[in-house]
Structure 1
Amino acid sequence: MSIKHKLVAVGTAAGLIFGGGAAMASSASAASTVGAKACTFNIPNQTVKTSTYYNTHPKLRTGPGKGYGSKGTLRPADTVRVYCGKGNPAWVYSKVVKTKSGIKTGTWGWIYSGSIAWPTDPHG
């Protein structure tokens, strides 16, 4: 057996002994990051703010859904640029433009669309 095959066999055995469930973890784990390729529809590039109506503090996530890890929490009226989305209800793939939350400007991530003050949103 080659060294490569031995390492794979030992690694597999160790994984099964020390928590094999981790090998079957969902693709929505905190370690995974899903980019724009996951989008199913485009949004004309828009700069928008997170909603202040519901005093929301949306999380900037690594993928389109609550099952994905958080990159941080945005604050009401933070500015993001949205590019595309996925799902119904939709999650939007965005880049942080201006924030008081501590998330670095230019960080990409997913935000629940209900947390956005869209231009036609009467609640802003």
Structure 2
Amino acid sequence: MCFRRAERDQVTLEKEQLKEALSALKEREVEREAQFLHLQEKICLLEKEMVKAKSIKEHLVNQRQRSILELAKVQAKAESDETYYQATIKELRKTPFWKDRYIKLAWVANQALVDIPRSLRAAKGMIDPTRTPREIS
């Protein structure tokens, strides 16, 4: 009987050890499951962040392309404006030359206008042969 009791105690002890081992395994399984769920949540959040980052990246790429296009337009307009302004500057540099010519031409015209009455008087004096021109008298 002693042998049976020892055997029963041994079996009970082994049974308790197995229960403890099973309990420890279940606890580890619960911990692993909790870790797994936590990691799944992290993955879900990271996927959402990745989608958001891709969207932002796409928006930035589009914005960059628009900026490059706008820059090219502005650059072309600047080159066009520079050509126009260079031509204007060139014309403005010619202005003193033409202004001087205009002043000289106006002076010549004014001199001619001053000489017209004198010439008319001389011509009137020549029409009547009985009168002596003023220059002669």
Q: Select the structure of larger CA radius of gyration.
A: 2
TM-score (norm 1): 0.23
TM-score, structure 2 length as denominator? 0.22
Q: Which has the higher strand share?
A: 1
